[in-house]
A and B are shown apart, each in its own frame.
Chain A
Amino acid sequence: MASKYVALPKGVSEKDFDGAISKYREILGDSSVLISAEQLASYTKTMMPVSDTEHAPSAALLATTVEQIQKIVAVCNQYKIPIWTISTGKNLGYGSAAPGERGQVVLDLKRMNRILEVDKDLAFALVEPGVTYQQLYDYIKEHKLGLWLSMPAPSAIAGPTGNTLDRGVGYTPYGEHFLFACGMEVVLANGEVLRTGMGSMPNSNTWQVFKWGYGPYLDGIFTQSNYGIVTKFGFWLMPEPPAFKPFVIQYEHEEDIVEIVETIRPLRINGVIPNAVVIAHALYEAPVKAKRSDYVSGPGSIPDEAVYRIMKDHKLGIWNVYAALYGTQEQIDVNWKIVTQAFSQSGKAKILTEKEAADDPAFAYRAKLMCGEMTLTEFSLYNWRGGGGSMWFAPVSQARGSETLKQMALTKQILTKYGLDYSGEFIVGMRDMHHIVDVLYDKTDPEQVKAAYQCFDELLTEFSARGYGTYRVNTAFMDKVAETYGPVQRSVHKTLKKALDPNGILAPGKSGIR
């Protein structure tokens, strides 16, 4: 018998689901409860190498108030309906707007999009989940607040709440986003509303300025988790500096990454370079300037020889180190001297600033990301092979040259085995690096889909076998990654889950927790 639903939540009968849907309609109104295939298409397309039907939602709910969400969780508890919360829903390459498991109901908070407060003096913001970076950017400009955003590369269409809750990164000195989060409001599975930190205290005005409150710090357990639904999110903004100097340093050999990292680490830890530096491989930058098909055709990874031709033709290094200095002109002048001296020592580095590189499209978009300007140019990556297949492979590495070289070589070796290219970069924290590789493949080609899946699986297996953990992963591989962190962490996660959400209604499966 054909169902009127695209999918049903696991273990829920159609009759019970009918009951839940009619209650959701009472709470939200008919037009905010989506169930038709046409309405759900935008929640179903993913870039992962599995059939989109495996992540098809049964419905999507568009809530706009905390009260509505409290009522929704009551219905979910009654009927045991799992809901997958998204804020701006642009988790592209990590699962997009689709739920972690087939049949889950998406709770879409995009329309809950008020900017509640931006404090110019204390430089913080409090927003609802649906606020995009573009919206906040426009607000700050309109009100001449002189504050900068730190955003991931999908800037304009993504948002601070979803990005930070998945522990995403940006490229300004505030680039490790969760470090700059300050205060959340969370609807718990039982409908209670928790304000974390100072927000728990009635009449407190320090919710967005002091992170810790009193007692165990709770904000962390609501990131990459399924313990609550975040409905307000506070975070710090960077005052616009008087001067900003972006630059790129190019190197010609893959082994040079050792020298690069050894040079950068002290500059980062000592704060000479304050932002999240990116060390991008030529193949990460090439799509902005070139087409893969101009250099290679047929199966197999792109050969090194073709990569060198791309570098020559498009003025790229094999490694391209993007960073910036911020402050007064005097501060920048002093730090620039330190940076150029450090990088000039071996004679291998080519240092370029806006003067030489302003017209270069790769430099231009990186410079925008480093000062909080909107750009989506990095999506050029999707044109490299075409076909819309992408998964981020994101192992963490020490900021130590020998380690980065090892990780790069291992990644490349495994990608090559499956005929895929190394589109990789390292995002430099202070002591760590997020090694970020876009595993690009053609999702319209069943052979490549299969290869990409196996390749990703092997990357996770081989990296964890060597003690390299992954910081974030797409929804098809959450259990696999959770497993690599061992049984004790998994059991603690589960204990918390049972205590906070005994019916398992909130995003079961997120980070392997159910």
Chain B
Amino acid sequence: MKKSGQVASVFFFILTTMLMSNAWSAQEGTLSTGQVWKDGAEIYTKVCAYCHETNVGPQILNRQLPAVYVRAIVRNGNRAMPPFRASEIDDESLEKLTNFISHKTSQH
């Protein structure tokens, strides 16, 4: 009984801090940023794959494309390929993504 009460109050604590940190009416400065990419695979699935696994763009996995090349194409775009800004895919995440693409040898 006691235990579950503790759990409940801890849960309540987490919930209220969560709500507080989500409350947009609170001081803007104290708020964390919204979305952060988890890893290269997530970016690939939620951005690149929509074009690169549907015949819109060429296949880019399993080709050992050099990381520098992939990075350059992502940042500059090329002909029909739109560029992606550092505000969309930050440098660190892009590094993870290019690693993912360069080293991915087989998936499907």
Binding site for B on A (CB under 8 A): 34, 38-39, 41-43, 45, 60, 62, 64-67, 88-90, 92, 96-97, 108, 110-117, 126, 128, 130-132, 134-135, 138, 156-157, 232, 361, 374-377, 379-380, 382-383, 386-388, 443-444
Instruction: Please encode chain B, from 66 to 108, with 1 for each CB lying within 8 Å of some chain A CB and 0 for all others.
Output: 0000000001111111111111100000000000000000000
A31 to chain B, nearest CB (A): 9
A65 lies within 8 A of B35 (CB): no
List 19 extra interface pairs beyond A156-B50, A377-B56, A388-B79, CB under 8 A. Answer: A42-B83, A62-B87, A65-B31, A67-B28, A89-B85, A89-B87, A90-B82, A92-B82, A97-B85, A111-B87, A113-B33, A114-B22, A134-B46, A157-B88, A374-B46, A376-B51, A382-B79, A382-B80, A383-B80
Given A126-B24, A134-B46, A382-B80, A110 and B56 contact (CB-CB distance below 8 Å): no
Query: Nearest Cβ distance between residue B96 and chain A, in whole angstroms?
Result: 18
CB < 8 Å neighbour of B77 from A34, A42, A138, A380: A42
User: CA A380 – CA B52 in complex, angstroms?
Assistant: 11
Q: In angstroms, how far is the closest chain A Cβ from the Cβ of B42? A: 10
Please indicate the chain B residues that have their CB under 8 angstroms from the CB of A60 in the complex: 85
CA separation between A444 and B55, bound complex, in Å? 22
Is A64's CB under 8 angstroms from B33's CB? yes
Instruction: Please give the distance in Å from B43's CB to the nearest CB on chain A.
Output: 11
**Distance in angstroms between the alpha carbons of A135 and B88 in the assembled complex:** 12
29 A-B contacts (beta carbon < 8 Å): A34-B86, A39-B86, A42-B86, A45-B77, A45-B83, A65-B28, A65-B29, A89-B88, A96-B82, A108-B87, A110-B85, A110-B88, A111-B87, A117-B24, A126-B24, A132-B35, A134-B47, A156-B47, A156-B50, A374-B46, A375-B50, A376-B54, A380-B54, A382-B56, A382-B79, A383-B56, A388-B78, A388-B81, A443-B79
- CB-based contact B56/A156 at 8 Å: no
In whole angstroms, how far apart are the Cα atoms of A65 and B29 in the complex? 7
Q: Which 3 A-B residue pairs are closest in the complex by CB-CB distance?
A: A382-B80, A113-B34, A110-B87
Please give, as numbers and ranges, the residues of chain A lying within 8 Å of B83 by CB-CB distance.
41-42, 45, 97
- Contacts A376-B51, A376-B56, A380-B56 given; indicate if A135 touches B79 (C-beta within 8 A): no
Size class of B's contact patch?
20 to 34
Closest A residue, CB atoms, query B85: A42
Q: Shortest CB–CB separation between residue A417 and chain B, in angstroms?
A: 25
Q: With both chains docked as a complex, state the minimum distance between the C-beta of B17 and any C-beta of chain A, in angstroms.
A: 16
CA distance A97 to B88 in the complex (A): 12
Give complex CA distance A62, B84 in Å.
Answer: 14
Q: Assess the A116–B80 pair: CB atoms within 8 A.
A: no
Best-buried of B76, B84, B87 by chain A (most CB within 10 Å)? B87
Name which residue of chain A comes closest to B51, CB basis.
A376
* Interface of chain B residues 1 through 33 with chain A (CB within 8 A): 22, 24, 28-29, 31, 33
* Contact pick for B80, options A108, A232, A386, CB 8 Å: A386
Q: Which residues of B contact A232 (CB under 8 A)?
A: 24
How far, in whole Å, are A448 and B68 apart by their CA atoms in the complex?
31
Contacts of B85 in A (CB 8 A): 42-43, 60, 89, 97, 108, 110
A387 adjacent to B76 (CB under 8 Å)? no
Residues of chain A contacted by B29 (CB below 8 angstroms): 65, 67
Write the chain B residue with the least CB distance to A374: B50
- Cβ B47 vs Cβ A157 within 8 A: yes
> Is B34 within 8 A of A114, CB to CB?
yes
Taking a contact as CB atoms under 8 Å apart, the answer to whether B76 and A42 are in contact is yes
In the complex, which residues of chain B have a beta carbon less than 8 angstroms from the beta carbon of A443? 79
> Which residues on A sit within 8 Å (CB–CB) of B75?
38, 41-42
Residues of A within 8 A of B50 (CB): 156, 374-377
B76 to chain A, nearest CB (A): 5
Given A34-B86, A157-B47, also A388-B76 (CB < 8 A):
no
Judge whether B76 and A45 touch: CB under 8 Å.
Answer: yes
Q: Give chain A nearest CB distance to B74 CB in angstroms.
A: 8
Taking the closest CB of chain A, its distance from the CB of B67, in whole angstroms, is 16
Q: Considering only CB atoms, which chain A residue lies closest to B48 in the complex? A: A376
A115 surroundings in chain B (CB, below 8 A): 34
Tell me the nearest residue of chain A to B90, going by C-beta: A111
Contact flag A135-B34 (CB < 8 Å), given A45-B76, A376-B54 = yes
Judge whether A116 and B24 touch: CB under 8 Å.
yes
Interface contact B34-A131, CB-CB below 8 Å: yes
Contact of A444 among B34, B35, B79 (CB under 8 A): B79
Cβ-defined partner of A45 (8 Å) among B47, B56, B82, B88: B82
**Distance in angstroms between the alpha carbons of A444 and B78 in the assembled complex:** 10
CB proximity of B19 to chain A, nearest CB, Å: 11
Residues of A with C-beta under 8 A to B76: 41-42, 45
Give CA–CA (A237, B55) in the complex, Å: 31
Question: Which residues on the A side are within 8 Å of B82 (C-beta)?
Answer: 45, 90, 92, 96, 157
Shortest CB-to-CB span from A113 to chain B, Å, is: 4
Which among A66, A96, A382 is the interface contact of B28 at CB below 8 angstroms? A66
**Complex CA–CA separation, A232 to B79 (angstroms):** 33
A42–B50 alpha-carbon span in the complex (Å): 20
Instruction: Give A66 to B55 CA distance when docked, in angstroms.
Output: 41
B-chain residues with CB within 8 Å of residue A62 when the two chains form the complex: 86-87
Query: Is B87 in contact with A130, judged by CB distance below 8 angstroms?
Result: yes
Closest B residue to A154 by beta carbon equals B82
Determine the chain A residues whose CB is within 8 A of the CB of B24 once the complex forms.
Answer: 114, 116-117, 126, 232
A115 to B24, CA, bound (A): 9
**B78, B81, B82 — most chain A CB neighbours (10 Å):** B82
Question: Which residues in B have their C-beta under 8 angstroms from that of A135?
Answer: 34-35
Complex Cα spacing A489 to B86, Å: 38
Q: Which residue of the partner chain A has the closest CB to B72?
A: A41
A17 to B47, CA, bound (A): 36
CB distance from A290 to the nearest CB of B (A): 11
